[in-house]
Amino acid sequence: MELRAFLLVVHLLSTLLMAAPFYMLVIVNERARFGAPLGYFTDRYMENIIRNNAVRCFIFQGTMLASGLWLTYITRGSFIPLFTEPTLIVKWVALVILASLLSHIHFSVQPQIERLMEQVKPDAPVPQGLAPQIAALRSRRKKLSGVCLFLVLTALIMGLRATFFYNLYLAIGLVAVAAVYAWRVYRKPVPLGWI
């Protein structure tokens, strides 16, 4: 019983710490509200935060995976429910897609942004045409972060359903609310948390 409780805490803490997509969207939306043109100090600071967060996310995802597999085994007695229980299937598919999107952002989109940002110098004007190229890549990253936020929330909802066995319709309703919330956070700043 203590091992299950310990694994649940580790699993839920890892999920909580995977709130990175939410905070990346907050950072990007706050940067947009700031309104200043592309500049070295502001934009380099923002990119450093976003770039360095990916490794932490990979570690939290790995912890979620390991603790989730272990929880499934000690709770269900085998790994078969991962392929037969719809709740667990949705949870694991969400985690796999989440890891794939994070990999795409970290290994493809972010390096492109970094290459362009290298041309932005502290004491020089931003090269002509550079800002729109960076904006396009940031827009793609922002969209993917919105999807990642939805996937994190979906995995959390399904994980809680697998643990507490609440009504399927409640789970579907909560996933719908998660989709609306992820869209809201993607679209605009959320100065009051939920709104």
pLDDT tens, position by position, 46-71? 899 888 888 888 998 999 899 999 99
Residue 195 lies in a domain: no
Residue 192 lies in a domain: no
- Domain extent, residue 70, equals 2-187
Residue 88 lies in a domain: yes
Give the pLDDT of residue 183. 94
Residue stretches of the chain with pLDDT short of 50: none
Residue 183 lies in a domain: yes
Residue 149 lies in a domain: yes
Residue 194 lies in a domain: no
Q: Are 59 and 20 in contact (CB under 8 A)?
A: no
Give the pLDDT of residue 178. 93
Give the pLDDT of residue 49. 87
Residue 80 lies in a domain: yes
Amino acid at 100: S
Give the pLDDT of residue 26. 84
Residue 12 lies in a domain: yes
pTM for this one? Answer: 0.88
CA angle 99, 142, 37 (to 5 degrees): 145
Q: Are 127 and 67 in contact (CB under 8 A)?
A: no
Give the number of other Cβ atoms within 10 Å of residue 101's Cβ. 17
pLDDT more than 70, % of the chain: 99
Domain count of the fold of the chain: 1
